[in-house]
Homo-oligomer: A and B are copies of this chain.
Amino acid sequence: MPAHGRRADAVRNRQIALDAATALLGEPGTALTVEAIAKRAGLGAATVVRAFGGKDALLDAAVAELLRPVVQRAKDLSGASQPDRALRTFLAELMDFQSAYHGISTELRGLNVPATTALRAELEGVVRAMVARAQRAGVIRTDLEPDVLTDLIGQTAFAIARFDGDLAGAYLTVLMDGLCPSTR
């Protein structure tokens, strides 16, 4: 086979393996081994390893592909005219995502996933900026630091999404009322 044919094959196999990994990430209870991903992709395990160099790099690429639009959505919403509403809208969407892919954190534990780590840090930064902006606009409480509120929101939203995504609406109602700068 000529060199450009092999390159085209490699690119195609890489994408097929990524799609398989992404699909498996959304299926709770699936063991995300290279073998399972290769089987779903209809490829040999050796081909998958050759395309990525190993499980860490494969899962890192798959999760990064899933996270990129989430980070972009946060950025898009972070300039909205009603920052508290934008925060609630974003959290609702984030929790849908976390419910759908709630095995990701467990799967990635202990793996070397630099692209995912960078995207998570970026996402946290964008949310912190949304919180700070809502504080400056006077629509969320200012007696707690943006860092503290961002940690609170991040951890509790994830816990609820993971436990039962159907509770997201009730959670967001209590949270946003709790974040409200009231006349208390």
| Chain A contacts to B: CB under 8 angstroms | 141, 143-144, 148-149, 151-152, 155-156, 158-160, 163-164, 167, 170-171, 173-180, 182, 184
Give the oligomeric copy count. 2
A8 to B30, CA, bound (A): 49
Query: Would B173 and A144 count as touching, CB distance under 8 A?
Result: yes
**A167 adjacent to B184 (CB under 8 Å):** no
Is B174 a contact partner of A175 (Cβ separation < 8 A)? Answer: yes
On whether A182 and B174 interact (CB within 8 A), knowing A155-B159, A155-B160, A167-B152, the answer reads: no
Which residues of B are found within 8 Å of A167, using beta-carbon distances?
148, 151-152, 155
Which residues of B are found within 8 Å of A177, using beta-carbon distances?
141, 177-178, 180, 182, 184
A167–B150 alpha-carbon span in the complex (Å): 11
Closest residue of chain B to A166 (Cβ to Cβ) is: B148
Contact status B156-A160, CB under 8 Å:
yes
Tell me which residues across on chain B come within 8 A of A159, comparing CB atoms: 155-156, 158-159
Looking at A144, A158, A174, A184, the one whose CB has the most chain B CB atoms below 10 A away is A174
| CB-defined contacts of A171 to chain B, threshold 8 Å | 152, 156
